[in-house]
Amino acid sequence: MMRNMDRREFLRLCGATGTAISLSEALKPEIAAAFAGPKGGKPPVLWLQGGSCSGCSIGLLNSVSPEIADVLTGVISLNFHQTLMSAAGEQAMHVLTDVQKKYRGEYVLIVEGSIPLAAEGKYATLGEKGDQPIPFSKWVKDLAADAKAIIAVGSCAAFGGLPAAAPNPTGSVPVSKVVGGKAVINIPGCPSHPDWVLGTVVHLLKFGMPALDKHGRPKLFFGRCVHDLCGRRKAFDKGEFATRLSEKGCLYKLGCRGPMAFADCPERRFNNGTSWCVAANSPCIACVEPEFPDKTGPFFERMPEYGPGGTFVPEPKPAKLTGGNK
pLDDT tens digit string along 210-246?
999 999 999 999 999 999 999 999 999 999 999 999 8
CATH class of 224-310: few secondary structures
Q: Is 227 a catalytic residue?
A: yes
Instruction: Check if the beta carbon of residue 286 is closer than 8 Å to that of residue 257.
Output: yes
In the set 81, 190, 193, 203, the catalytic residue is: 190
Can 225 be counted among the known catalytic residues?
no
Please state the domain extents for the chain: 7-222, 224-310
Residue 114 near residue 51, CB atoms below 8 Å? yes
Question: Pick the catalytic residue: 53, 203, 215, 225?
Answer: 53
| Candidates 14, 156, 193, 203; catalytic one | 156
Which residues fall within 8 angstroms of residue 79, CB to CB, at 6 or more apart?
Answer: 44, 45, 46, 95, 99, 107
**CATH topology identical between 7-222 and 224-310:** no
Q: Active-site residue among 81, 193, 203, 227?
A: 227
User: What is the mean pLDDT of the segment spanning 272-280?
Assistant: 91
287 is catalytic: yes
Separation of alpha carbons 42 and 271, rounded Å: 27
- 63 pLDDT band, cuts 50/70/90, is confident
In the prediction, which pLDDT does 194 show?
87
The CATH class, in words, for 7-222 is alpha beta
The reply to whether 53 belongs to the active site is: yes
Residue 14: active-site member: no
Confidence of residue 318 (pLDDT cuts 50, 70, 90): very low
Helix (H, G, I), strand (E, B) or coil at 96: helix
Cα angle 9-15-19, degrees, rounded to a multiple of 5: 125
DSSP bridge partners of 51: 114
Mean per-residue pLDDT for 36-65? 80
Give the Cα separation of 238 and 232 in Å (integer): 10
